[in-house]
Amino acid sequence: MNNLVKFMKRFLILSFLLGTSGCNESSTGLKKNAINAAYKNCYGYLNDLVESPSSLKINKATPKISFPQDNLIYKYFNESLIDKNTGKISQENIDENTRFRQISFAIDYEEKNSNGISLRDKFFCSYVYELKGNEESPNEMYLTSWETKSEFKNTYIPLDVRNESNFRMDQKIVKPITEISSHFTDRDKLLFTNIEFLYKDSNEHEN
């Protein structure tokens, strides 16, 4: 009986450790469901674009975490960032250390053309997400572009990440390239300054 109790205790402790450590990708802090959702969404667009979806084979998918372009953040988020009374970043955003990150996917793939010849290529998707306070991973992100060797498409489509697996990443996803952490940095402070400048410049052109 004592051995059974000890086993159950060890099992519960192990399950707890796996549950708490398995949700986040170690190098980015992002929850695995966020990475999986971006990959699955990007794969869906690729599948719709290729000539022969049935022959589509994914070799690898490489995520990269980087800082998004300032003008992109201004275009889509200035309404929630700026206090219209002052023309400055709102105190709420300052207090919450609001920041933005971009996750991009480069998918290496193969497909067969109409002659049955196997072709290799890459497909790219970029997503922007917002973080506040101690957050390291979002519940929602936005597809802002996808790209083939012959076409580039700007867009702005929300993506809820919460329904994807948070236990493990898709086997095609390789270790992420991380250019910036999820924490608030001097680059985020500079973004605030640039957003204020773009807002002021926009208003001057309107008047």
Let me know if residue 107 belongs to a domain: yes
Phi and psi angles of residue 20, each rounded to the nearest 5 degrees, phi first: -80, -30
Mean pLDDT within 57-77: 98
For the cut 60, the answer to whether the pLDDT of residue 5 exceeds it is no
SS3 179: coil
The sign of the torsion formed by the CA atoms of 73, 75, 76, 80 equals positive
3-state SS class at 63: strand
CA distance 131 to 42: 22
pLDDT digits (tens, 9 = 90+) for 175-205: 999 999 999 999 999 999 999 999 999 887 7
Does a structural domain hold residue 193?
no
In a domain, 4, yes or no: no
Indicate the number of domains in the chain.
1
CB neighbourhood size of 64 (10 A): 16
Rounded CA separation 166/101 (Å): 20
Helix 70-81 with 186-206: angle, nearest 10 deg: 80
Tell me, what amino acid is at 106? A
pTM of the model as a whole? 0.86
The answer as to whether 197 is a domain residue is: no
Is residue 103 one of the residues assigned to a domain?
yes
Query: Which helix H or strand E contains 121, and what residues bound it?
Result: strand 118-131
List pLDDT tens digits, range 17-57: 444 445 888 788 899 999 999 999 999 999 999 999 999 99
Residue 78 lies in a domain: no
**75-114 tens-digit pLDDT:** 999 999 999 999 999 999 999 999 999 999 999 999 998 8
3-state secondary structure of 153: strand
Mean pLDDT (whole number) for 142-156: 96
Residue 162 pLDDT exceeds 50: yes
Q: For residue 3, is pLDDT > 90?
A: no
Dihedral sign (CA 45, 160, 180, 29): negative
Residue 9 has pLDDT above 60, yes or no: no
Residue 85's SS3 state is coil
Predicted local distance difference test score (pLDDT) of residue 21: 43
Find the domain containing 152 and state its range: 24-72+99-181
Q: Which of 74, 72, 90 is nearest to 82 (CA)?
A: 90
Q: Is residue 55 part of a domain?
A: yes
- Which is more confidently placed, 123 or 12? 123
Q: Where are the alpha helices (DSSP H) in 50-185?
A: 70-81, 91-95
